[in-house]
Amino acid sequence: MRISEVAKRSGLSAKTIRYYEEIGLIEPATRGVNGYRDYDLGALGQLRFLARARDVGFNLEESRQLLGLLKDSSRQSVHARSLVLEKSQQLEQKIQKLHAMQDVLNDMARRCNGDEGPECAILDELAGLEGAFS
Amino acid sequence: MRISEVAKRSGLSAKTIRYYEEIGLIEPATRGVNGYRDYDLGALGQLRFLARARDVGFNLEESRQLLGLLKDSSRQSVHARSLVLEKSQQLEQKIQKLHAMQDVLNDMARRCNGDEGPECAILDELAGLEGAFS
DNA sequence: CTTGACCTTCCAGTAGCTGTAAGGTTTATA
DNA sequence: TATAAACCTTACAGCTACTGGAAGGTCAAG
């Protein structure tokens, strides 16, 4: 398979696949006589695995670890599980933080007239005039 | 005020303040005879404003726009309000996405034994073997 | 007079790609 | 057979929003 085919079937861009090779996340692809990269189903499988790991929130280093576990026949599933649970907790924290930010935004919007005048509770609050008179 | 004082009082780092000046987010600070940057309360106010805008999720370009509104006496509060509402919606989408990711992670963790053996529903699912036998 | 805490500029690095340039190859069509 | 479209290659720059570090100038205290 050529790179564009693997790209289509993995959901990654060709650029990204070359990048993953460059940083050693996957083995360098074998090359055809013309110098084009050539992929087999095993390589496609690894790229799909990486795409999914990224999709659920793992960064490249974590995805590398997970791929290492996948390839390690003497692995212990507890390791994969702890990576997943830790990531889930990280997402939880991110969600909480985003919620808090959203609350502030919604509150500001509620207290702002949103008309053609210059008076604006949003700008006041961002400037530190803590809307004491809302 | 010197930069470290402004840093302390705005919550930004000195590095960040210099960076904001470099990219034109704030006016270049006036300089003392020794070449040190010197800030007045107005500059501090703007930096605080920027710190808060960043805190609630605006990126630098959006923060620049908000600061523009703050400085524009002929502004219309509807503009600030629409920026805030749009940002709130963006946060909502991010939250939904993180929730979906977290659901997948929690589901994978639940189906994984997490013991010393190699069998692992997490790795199976990431590899695309859609846990049909959970 | 030296030590330490400031300040300055400049350059490099981070994550995870994406865009673009300049070129080689393959394939389909006129 | 010519040629144009659609691939492929490498290499380098750029993106966001900073952070770290080097090399050096300034200033106040002891």
Please indicate if any CB of chain A lies within 8 Å of the CB of B45: yes
Q: Which residues contact B124 (CB under 8 A, 6 or more apart)?
A: B131
Mean pLDDT of B66-92: 97
What is the DSSP-derived secondary structure letter of residue B27? P
H-type alpha helices, A1-134: 3-10, 14-22, 41-55, 60-71, 77-111, 121-127
A11 lies within 8 A of chain B by CB: no
Nucleotide nearest to A62 (CA to C1'): C15
Q: Which of A95, A104, A127 sits opposite B49 (nearest CB)?
A: A127
B77 burial via Cβ count (<10 Å: 0-12, 13-18, 19+): buried
Mean pLDDT, residues A67-93 taken together: 97
Q: Please name the amino acid found at residue A121.
A: A
Considering only residues 46 to 75 of chain B, which have any Cβ-Cβ distance to chain A shorter than 8 Å?
48-49, 52-53, 55-57, 66, 69-70, 72-75
The helix/strand/coil state of B30 is: strand
Q: Shortest CA distance to A26 belongs to which of A11, A8, A42, A5?
A: A42
Percent pLDDT > 70 in chain A is: 97
Check whether A134 has a pLDDT greater than 70.
no
pLDDT at B133: 54
Give the pLDDT of residue B132.
55
pLDDT in tens, B84-118: 999 999 999 999 999 999 999 999 999 999 999 99
Note the pLDDT tens digit of each residue in B22-55. 999 999 999 999 999 999 999 999 999 999 999 9
Q: CA neighbours within 13 Å on the CB side: how many for A44?
A: 16
The average pLDDT across B71-91 equals 97
Nucleotide nearest to A33 (CA to C1'): C25
Which nucleotides of chain C have an atom under 7 angstroms from any protein CB? 6-9, 15-19, 25-26
Q: With beta carbons under 8 A apart, name residues in chain A contacting B78.
A: 114-116
pLDDT-above-90 percentage for chain A: 95
A127 to chain B: closest CA residue? B49
Mean pLDDT over residues B57-69, rounded?
Answer: 97
Predicted confidence band of residue B129 (pLDDT cuts 50, 70, 90)? confident
The pLDDT of residue A45 is: 97
Three-state DSSP at A115 gives coil
Residue of chain B nearest A66, judged by CA positions: B123
pLDDT category, A121, cuts 50, 70, 90?
very high
pTM summary value: 0.92
The residue written with tokens 């500001």 in the block is A108
3-state secondary structure at position B10 = helix
Within 8 A of A82 by CB-CB distance, chain B residues are 114
d(CA B30, CA B13): 18
pLDDT one-digit tens code per residue, A37-65: 999 999 999 999 999 999 999 999 999 99
What is the arithmetic mean of pLDDT over B1-12? 97
